[in-house]
Amino acid sequence: MSDIEQIDEDGTEQVSLKQYAEKAYLDYSMYVILDRALPNIGDGLKPVQRRIVYAMSELGLKSTAKFKKSARTVGDVIGKFHPHGDSAAYEAMVLMAQYFSYRYPLVDGQGNWGAPDDPKSFAAMRYTESRLTAYADVLLAELGQGTVDWVPNFDGTMEEPSVLPAQVPNVLLNGTTGIAVGMATDIPPHNLREVVTAAIRLLEAPKSTLAELCEHIQAPDFPTEAEIITPREEILAIYQTGRGGLRMRAVWEKEGGDIVIQAIPHQVSGSRVLEQIAQQMQARKLPMVADLRDESDHENPTRLVIVPRSNRVDLDGLMSHLFATTDLERSYRVNLNMIGIDGRPQVKSLDRILKEWLKFRTATVRRRLQYRLEKVLKRLHILEGYLVAYLNIDEVIHIIRTEDKPKPALMKRFKISDIQAEAILELKLRNLARLEEMKITGEQNELEDERAQLEKILGSDARLKTLIKKELTAVAQEYGDDRRSPLVERDEAKAFSELELISADPITVVMSEKGWIRGAKGHDIDPASLSYKSGDGFKLAVRGRSNQPVVILDSTGRAYSIPSHNLPSARGQGEPVTGRINPPSGATFEGMMMGDEQQLYLLASDAGYGFVARLGDLQTKNRAGKAALSLPKGGQVLQPVPISEVEGASVVAITNEGRMLVFSLADLPQLARGKGNKIIGIPGARVLSREEFVVGVQVMAEKDVLVVHAGKRHINLKFSELEHYRGERGRRGNKLPRGFQKVDAMTVER
């Protein structure tokens, strides 16, 4: 169907606006895809890059030439080939010159061409000088050898190569990124030796699988020593589909207690990394780091030093956090999208890329050999004419001197072709007279040998493959180098939780009778001497670290956890604990616990029941807490007792009537919650009527002293003096001496 809707009286074509807009957008899209954003599989270059490299070669800016002002070079590129602005062309040139952007740079630059920290900090083109690198020869060496399709430039005044005759798969070697319309490309760089080895493998065994090719190309190879940490299976999947993602991680080592970062991921700025770490330090999210230094210089392009606060800091854990929260670990998108040899964009698998490129290379080499063969045959033909002229030199000179049109006369007389006659006539007479049979036949023999060799290669696929293989090997030997990015599989980086980032400072948590809570720095605090609100006073205190939660036990036996690092200061009077937890109505707070998750506590009720609990089992994120200690009828919660030693420790329980029982701690079970087992025998009815109940429970080691308080009097009992009171768990116990039977409290002195 024609786009033309109608033709008016003047013969002007009229197209609907919709059709016009669609066509214009489609044309633009295709232009961006095919002539701007995507690289060609043949030489791995975008059009602007190809034009720069070609224009520089035409200007004679080889690796051995003098440097030339970049502005002049760019001017030449724009004037002759590139229909865009000078800044676009210069930016493309800069990218090809940056050793930290291109694995194998194509442009050799003098002056400021940007830094790894800031790739866009390059000087203006009037200040920089440039020429091609030696590596550029792999794209240009075969340019004048019949290997290239020439196309008109943008204004049709000159011709430019459509694709450069690359001797290696440059599309994989230097990689590229580009955004087209509706598609993008992200091809990572690779190692030349690895890619060439894989290409040779595919040349020798065309049915090689992707897995076999990946024995040679194990992963991309970026221009940095940072580690590629993506698992091998994922890399294989990327090469299989042409899409995926890679992760790179900085390389570091311990040096005198400090962390020294020696390599950072591709296109990551060292100063940006330090800025990210500094931001965390300012926000108090990194208390274990004391200082940062950038010691990078010419000898060590990357040397970032992180100084930990002390030698107790877990450096591996710290780096894992930094990998998770900064650019020390970076992800890279992979999208192997390029213009194939059919001129169409496509996302290709690795084996497909290599197969297509080998087709391109085979066609290029065949064209080069064919072109050379034609040149040889043409020269042999001319030499035959020279030999005829030499053998009849006097007659030839006579014809040239006497005849008005010597060419037809020579052709008729000596039965030579137009080309031969033209070649004879192009020689000056004195040169014609100097012709020597030896030189002619010598050159003929050499050319005949070359012709035979060329025809052999062109007539045999095996010989052609061998030639391509030799050329690939030669390029790899000349320009190849060792892998820079090591392949190391690492565990996933984990950021510190909020709790892990809190410094472990000593803290004393104090609670008042009315349930107001606060945190005092240090352990040398007298909680009773702090100021309290009118009608309020000291009730509970517990010592621990600021990175440990405080566990509160209420009168119903429920346990609650609250973080201790953000408690109000002890300079004030604190805040109601009910602002942080939701206890049942009427409940009071009877106990507080702090310590490591493995810390053991004895939980007991004054009904004479209890158990050993691990502190970690009592912690909860629920504001309503969790049931910990079940109370028998009439029973009340006792202050939990910390257990410092389990081996050889004994439980001491005393009732208000002065009965005391001592038994081994091992007889009590360790539970997460419940009523527990009977510690000391008290009839249930007496507990219910509050006639008899447990005054206190303590855990004693052998070296401890038990202090029993009765009114104003107290008695000290050593571990060895408790034999009289020892018995089986759950017994009634024995009475204390007269005068000490109305027990108020008991403590353990360690």
Active site residues: 127
Contact between 510 and 552 under an 8 Å Cβ cutoff? The reply is no
Which H or E element spans position 151? strand 150-152
| Token pair recorded at residue 444 | 């003929």
Tell me the torsion sign for CA atoms 170, 174, 179, 182: positive
For residues 390 and 676, give the distance between their C-alpha atoms in angstroms, rounded to a whole number: 124
- Amino acid identity of residue 87, one-letter, is S
Instruction: Give Cβ neighbours of residue 136 (< 8 Å, ≥ 6 apart).
Output: 53, 56, 57, 62, 63, 106, 107
| Token pair recorded at residue 655 | 């009732």
CA angle 498, 502, 507 (to 5 degrees): 135
Instruction: Give Cβ neighbours of residue 420 (< 8 Å, ≥ 6 apart).
Output: 381, 382, 384, 385, 388
60-67: Cβ within 8 A, 24+ apart: 61/130, 61/131, 61/132, 62/131, 62/132, 62/136, 62/137, 63/108, 63/131, 63/132, 63/133, 63/134, 63/136, 63/137, 65/131, 66/131, 67/108, 67/110, 67/129, 67/130, 67/131
DSSP 3-state of 108: strand
Which of 544, 500, 495, 541 has its CA nearest to residue 522? 544
Tell me the torsion sign for CA atoms 464, 469, 475, 477: negative
**DSSP line for 599-616:** -EEEEEBTTSEEEEEEHH
Contact between 596 and 619 under an 8 Å Cβ cutoff? The reply is no
For residues 47 and 82, give the distance between their C-alpha atoms in angstroms, rounded to a whole number: 8
Composition of the chain by helix, strand, coil, percent to 5: 35, 25, 40
> Count of CB atoms within 10 A of residue 349's CB?
17
Which of 577, 588, 576, 508 has its CA nearest to residue 542? 508
Instruction: Give Cβ neighbours of residue 337 (< 8 Å, ≥ 6 apart).
Output: 38, 183, 184, 185, 186, 187, 242, 345, 346, 347, 348
The residues facing 629 across adjacent strands are 674
Instruction: Give Cβ neighbours of residue 96 (< 8 Å, ≥ 6 apart).
Output: 49, 52, 53, 102, 105, 106, 107
Contact between 736 and 724 under an 8 Å Cβ cutoff? The reply is no
Which of 362, 417, 338, 30 has its CA nearest to residue 170? 338
Instruction: Give Cβ neighbours of residue 514 (< 8 Å, ≥ 6 apart).
Output: 533, 535, 536, 576
Do strands 129-132 and 150-152 pair parallel, antiparallel, or not at all (unpaired)?
A: unpaired
Q: What are the C-alpha distances in Å from 562 to residues 433, 499, 547, 601?
A: 111, 12, 11, 18
**Residue appearing with tokens 């699988």:** 209
Which of 572, 469, 570 has its CA nearest to residue 522? 570
